[in-house]
């Protein structure tokens, strides 16, 4: 069918608008039918953007006042007059996506290697096969770059296009042959066996295959049905193909050894089997607006260094440039491997922590815990130590952290690939992972913590810390771990629970206010007023009752009325927010809420829900009724006999404020007719005289609106005929009525009042005031330590009540570490996206004094800290960029580490609104220095016991 349509389309040259509409329709159909195994095609972003501009130029010239879609949309009005100024694109040219590396696979498209660091939306767009076929039939060109859709593993309905398949190096022992292949991570181990035997001319019974990651036999790969993804096989790792003795099944002897370079040499065979990974986004592929939002800034693209496997020098041995006398160590950059600035910035801050720099440059191997089931069998510590030594070697060129990245992907798959990630999340993983790899405790004792039971805090805190050290003792604990005091109080029985827990870093909130602004649309049910948007201020840790009370005050609620609060999703009532004690934190900023003013509920009342529907084209010859707008509700008594005519009257009353002016009933049988409008002066004021409106309705003969009642069996009953038809009401079920709006009926009402329901809180551009008004780091710390109720998701089990309780929680700092890491919570999470706070935080560079914030007053150690490093985050999510500001302590000078680029900066330039993670180091006083020396001697004795 596709080929026929294509050949027909090419018989005449189409206009840009006709091309746009045809591609849009093909894409919509393809998106609806995408399944695992389908093919998608890479097309260069440059050509795609040219075509987008070409087919949208008429819209740009003729819809200047239309802001709904913008110049990049593929939807729009096809009746615009033609005014073409941009030339039609020439043939598709994907050459800028192609790598120079050799490939011996001659299968169409799949044997062509693409650059390793391409980004979707910046370098290429993914198109469904049907869209590619149509564009190719019009423009030709190439080369064709086909990739497969795979199951993403997140759910049964989420897919991904595998743009980069696994690249594996097969090493044959004892012969010493090798070959580099490409294979889908969703292929089975059995398929890898088959391919290996095919490449090296071996029989299946002759070989066994090992996961040879890091040139160590990790696991025998003999489960033929298991996928490579499930076997945790990583990009660019080695696979050992072991040839067995045909007689007894043992491995043939041989003295072959392989160089540990991580890549095949240039003479290796390259076989591409299946295509690798990028998010499947048809909408993104067909919308230049969405592409631009995911693209990099020009500055970021210019600063990014792209390196390809096998083409960069091995930094272990290469050392271009002259080593100058007295050159400082630690001024070596890290190459960006493609969106790895998040990793580079975190690594640079850690390797420039003096305690870590000293530790990993000495012999730390004796402290590696090879047996710790919570660790990474020492591999993370070894990879980090090796990278740190390279970065501290003087006079070095930038280092490509590819081996470390591979280790990271193996043990933390969430950081695999080349998407942007959160630097703070990576930092948390590294600190925890390094601790477990270097934990001096080889056999952790079981310890049952005792409750405080009124004992002195000092006694309980020391007991908790001793228990913690008995199981956790490493350089990371020595340097970075402190201790909280956590106090929980039951709101019912007032039971107090005190614990003392370790922490690795502090996550401080930037939204330090105790109130929250919420926007809700208020609807009347008696036809007395138009819907109105109401913005109220409520306690941030408040409950539903606080919001209902604030709305009641704001909309002048009568004594006989009450507010019914609901959440609207997809134009339907998703839930009633009835429980007045539920926390407001369950309402997200991107939720849509509606409040209805109704008569106070009495026993036996039930709600009538009016759902608006209109016809939408589903296919070329089919239509369906779909909900739109905001539902309306009214309260009815189950004790009364309700007829269909009564429901008609109730619905007409609710819709009265929406009637357009100068309309009168003229035909009792026409559903599109309407009731007489009220006085214009009333409508301008946003209110209608209830009595006069009711009188007007009563004087006129009501039209029969196209209403459908949904009964208990989910059957629709037509209410447009039969005034006296009785309606059965149930006190346990709401009455759901559909109002099917025809195009004629829609012309009679101002329906825009029921559409565009606002979000609870809309994030807009940061105001100039917000940018310039500093927020003190001390204020953030105080907000973090402030007592507040737990969110409902973190309810506490009260041991006295034997129930889950929403306890109040209070944190205090009890013990501070030598290096204090502070994470500023710039990102807030809603259901659909992240929001970044651009608040400028005024943080001290010198003498950050925490003396008054430490609850344990026994210590004579200094509680003053100096800043020595920080991670910055610039831009938005996904396309943002990370850098590090670091002070070299031996030089007493600040530098900016931007991937491979390092430049000196002034201390006054260290502070900015981009600061994200701060690294403070305790200022050593004479007293604290002697205490530290003493604790070091104790630590040596303690460590020797493990």
Residues forming a β-bridge with 834? 829
Tokens read off for 359? 């530790």
Residue 111 CA to residue 182 CA, distance in Å, equals: 9
Choice among 193, 300, 341, 612 that is catalytic: 341
- State the burial class of residue 192 (Cβ atoms within 10 Å of its Cβ: 0-12, 13-18, 19+): buried
| 3-state SS assignment for residue 825 | strand
Q: Please, where are the H alpha helices in 823-867?
A: none
Closest CA to 306 of 121, 116, 101, 125: 116
Q: Does the active-site annotation cover 881?
A: yes
Provide the 10 A C-beta neighbour count for residue 660.
12
| 3-state SS assignment for residue 263 | coil
> The sheet that has 159-161: what strands, in order across it?
124-128, 39-44, 146-151, 159-161, 278-279
Closest CA to 570 of 596, 547, 591: 591
Closest CA to 291 of 74, 142, 72, 97: 72
**Angle 284-286-291 from CA coordinates, rounded to 5°:** 45
C-alpha dist (Å) from residue 883 to 55, 348, 866, 872, 886? 39, 9, 20, 5, 10
Q: What share of the chain is helix, strand, coil (3-state, %, to 5)?
A: 30, 25, 45
Choice among 193, 421, 823, 881 that is catalytic: 881
Residue 438 CA to residue 355 CA, distance in Å, equals: 14
Q: Does the active-site annotation cover 435?
A: no
Residue 813 CA to residue 863 CA, distance in Å, equals: 11
Query: By the 8 A CB rule, do 611 and 736 touch?
Result: yes
Rg (CA), the chain: 34
Query: By the 8 A CB rule, do 227 and 197 touch?
Result: no
Q: Which residues contact 610 (CB under 8 A, 6 or more apart)?
A: 631, 632, 633, 634, 651, 654, 737, 739
**HSE of 934 in the Cβ direction (CA atoms, 13 Å)?**
7
Residues forming a β-bridge with 209? 241
Q: Which residues contact 213 (CB under 8 A, 6 or more apart)?
A: 234, 237, 238, 410
**HSE of 908 in the Cβ direction (CA atoms, 13 Å)?**
0
How many residues are there in the chain? 946
Residues forming a β-bridge with 517? 537
Catalytic residue positions, numbered: 341, 881
């Amino acid at each position: 069918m596709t080929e026929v349509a294509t050949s027909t389309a090419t018989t005449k040259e189409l206009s840009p608008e006709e091309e746009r509409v045809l591609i849009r329709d093909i894409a919509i159909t393809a998106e609806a039918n995408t399944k695992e195994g389908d093919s998608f095609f890479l097309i260069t972003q440059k050509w795609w953007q040219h075509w987008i501009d070409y087919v949208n130029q008429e819209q740009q010239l003729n819809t200047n006042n239309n802001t709904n879609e913008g110049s990049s949309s593929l939807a729009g009005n096809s009746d615009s007059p033609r005014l073409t100024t941009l030339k039609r694109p020439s043939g598709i040219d994907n050459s800028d996506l192609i790598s120079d590396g050799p490939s011996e696979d001659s299968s169409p498209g799949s044997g062509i290697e693409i650059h390793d660091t391409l980004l979707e939306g910046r370098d290429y767009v993914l198109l469904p096969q049907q869209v590619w076929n149509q564009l190719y039939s019009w423009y030709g060109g190439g080369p064709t770059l086909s990739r497969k859709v795979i199951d993403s593993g997140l759910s049964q309905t989420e897919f991904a296009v595998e743009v980069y398949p696994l690249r594996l190096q097969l090493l044959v022992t004892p012969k010493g042959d090798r070959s580099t292949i490409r294979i889908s991570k969703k292929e089975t181990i059995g398929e890898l066996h088959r391919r290996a035997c095919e490449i090296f001319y071996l029989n299946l019974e002759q070989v066994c295959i090992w996961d040879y990651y890091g040139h160590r036999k990790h696991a025998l790969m003999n489960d033929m049905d298991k996928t490579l993804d499930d076997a945790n096989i990583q990009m660019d790792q080695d696979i050992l193909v072991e040839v067995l003795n045909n007689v007894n099944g043992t491995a043939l002897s041989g003295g072959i050894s392989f160089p540990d370079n991580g890549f095949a040499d240039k003479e290796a065979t390259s076989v591409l089997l299946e295509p690798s990974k990028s998010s499947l986004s048809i909408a993104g592929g067909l919308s230049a607006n969405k592409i631009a939002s995911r693209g990099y800034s020009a500055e970021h693209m210019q600063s990014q260094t792209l390196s390809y496997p096998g083409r960069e020098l091995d930094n272990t041995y290469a050392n271009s440039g002259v080593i100058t006398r007295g050159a400082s160590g630690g001024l070596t950059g890290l190459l960006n491997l493609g969106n790895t600035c998040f990793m580079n910035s975190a690594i640079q801050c850690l390797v420039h922590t003096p305690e870590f720099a000293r530790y990993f440059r000495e012999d730390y191997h004796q402290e590696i815990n090879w047996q710790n089931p919570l660790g990474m069998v020492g591999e993370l510590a070894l990879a980090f130590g090796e990278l740190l030594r390279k970065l501290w070697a003087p006079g070095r060129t930038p280092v490509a952290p590819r081996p470390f990245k591979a280790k990271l992907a193996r043990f933390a798959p969430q950081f695999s690939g080349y998407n942007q990630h959160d630097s703070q999340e990576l930092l948390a993983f590294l600190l925890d992972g390094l601790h477990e790899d270097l934990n001096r405790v080889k056999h952790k004792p079981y310890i049952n913590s005792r409750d405080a039971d009124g004992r002195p805090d000092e006694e309980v805190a020391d007991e908790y810390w001793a228990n913690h050290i008995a199981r956790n003792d490493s350089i990371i604990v020595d340097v970075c771990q402190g201790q909280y005091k956590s106090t929980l109080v039951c709101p019912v029985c007032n039971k107090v629970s005190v614990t003392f827990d370790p922490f690795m870093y502090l996550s401080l909130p930037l939204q330090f206010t105790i109130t929250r602004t919420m926007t809700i649309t208020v609807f009347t049910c008696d036809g007395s007023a138009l819907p109105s948007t109401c913005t109220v201020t409520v306690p941030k840790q408040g409950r539903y009752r606080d919001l209902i009370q604030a709305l009641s005050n704001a909309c002048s609620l009568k004594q006989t009325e009450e507010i019914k609060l609901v959440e609207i999703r997809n134009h339907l009532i998703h839930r009633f927010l009835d429980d007045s004690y539920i926390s407001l934190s369950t309402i997200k900023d991107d939720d849509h809420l509606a409040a209805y003013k109704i008569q106070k509920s009495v026993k036996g009342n039930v709600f009538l829900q009016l759902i608006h529907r209109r016809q939408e084209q589903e296919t070329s010859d089919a239509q369906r009724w779909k909900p739109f707008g905001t539902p309306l509700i009214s309260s009815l008594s189950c004790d009364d006999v309700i007829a269909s005519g009564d429901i008609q009257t109730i619905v007409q009353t609710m819709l009265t404020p929406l009637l357009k002016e100068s309309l009168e009933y003229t035909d009792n049988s026409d559903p599109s007719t309407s009731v007489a409008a009220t006085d214009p002066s009333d409508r301008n004021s946003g209110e209608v005289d209830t009595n006069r409106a009711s009188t007007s309705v009563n004087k006129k003969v009501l039209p029969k609106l196209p209403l459908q009642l949904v009964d208990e069996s989910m059957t629709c009953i037509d209410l447009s005929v039969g005034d006296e038809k009785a309606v059965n009401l149930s006190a346990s079920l709401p009455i759901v009525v559909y109002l099917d709006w025809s195009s004629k009926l829609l012309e009679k009402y101002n329906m825009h009042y029921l559409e565009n329901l606002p979000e609870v809180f809309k994030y807009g551009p940061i105001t100039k005031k917000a940018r310039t008004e500093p927020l003190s780091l001390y204020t953030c710390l105080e907000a973090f330590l402030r007592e507040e109720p737990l969110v409902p998701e973190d309810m506490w089990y009260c041991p006295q009540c034997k129930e889950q309780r929403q306890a109040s929680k209070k944190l205090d700092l009890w013990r501070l570490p030598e290096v204090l890491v502070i994470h500023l919570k710039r990102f807030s999470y809603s259901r659909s996206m992240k929001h970044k706070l651009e608040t400028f935080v005024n943080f001290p560079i010198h003498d950050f004094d925490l003396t008054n914030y430490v609850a344990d007053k026994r210590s004579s150690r200094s509680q003053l800290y100096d800043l020595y490093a920080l991670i910055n985050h610039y831009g938005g999510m996904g396309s943002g960029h990370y850098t590090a500001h670091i002070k070299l302590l031996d030089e007493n000078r600040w530098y900016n580490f931007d991937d491979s680029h390092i430049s000196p900066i002034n201390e006054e330039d260290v502070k900015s609104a981009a600061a994200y993670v701060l690294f403070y180091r305790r200022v050593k006083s004479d007293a604290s220095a002697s205490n530290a020396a003493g604790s070091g001697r104790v630590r040596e004795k303690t460590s020797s016991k493990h």
